Amino acid sequence: MHATDFGFSSSDSPVRYHPTMKQILTRVPDGLHALARTEAAARGVSLNEFVTSAIEQAIATGHEGSAPFRARAAAHGLLMAPPRGAAHPEQMDAEHASWTARQPEGAGDAVVAALLAERYDATP
């Protein structure tokens, strides 16, 4: 399966370079980014082309995220149920939203500034 299978064509518009493209911004762990970049280079493709291909493959094969890992864990007796009384994700989201709404204006700005400084100003 290729991008053209989804109706994408480089000749759709003479004006824009990417006529039918959308941009996805996602955060991945540094290690996964490094692995993806290394694999893309080994295959002789751009990181963008590698990620696009991975998404197409996941859609084409019906890949359901963690389903294969859960199946393997269950087969080896390693899959565990959450502890009794554990909060449901929607409940946790509602509690977090309620907590966030009670915080004063600007709360957390220092933390965000420190994280941004570390990410963009630190030398590797």
Range of the domain at 36: 1-79
User: Do 29 and 60 reside in the same domain of the chain?
Assistant: yes
User: Do 36 and 93 reside in the same domain of the chain?
Assistant: no
User: Do 17 and 72 reside in the same domain of the chain?
Assistant: yes
DSSP 8-state symbol, 17: S
Which of the two residues, 54 and 105, has the higher pLDDT score?
A: 54
For the whole model, what pTM was predicted?
0.40
Per-residue pLDDT reduced to its tens digit, 86-109: 667 677 777 777 877 787 777 777
First to last CA, the chain: 38
Is 80 exceeded by the pLDDT of residue 19?
no
> pLDDT over 70 for what percent of the chain?
74
Cβ 20 vs Cβ 12: under 8 Å: yes
Q: Rg for the chain (alpha carbons), in Å?
A: 21
Beta strand ranges found along the chain (DSSP E)? none
Q: What is the Cα–Cα distance from 17 to 102, expressed in whole angstroms?
A: 46
User: Do 72 and 98 reside in the same domain of the chain?
Assistant: no
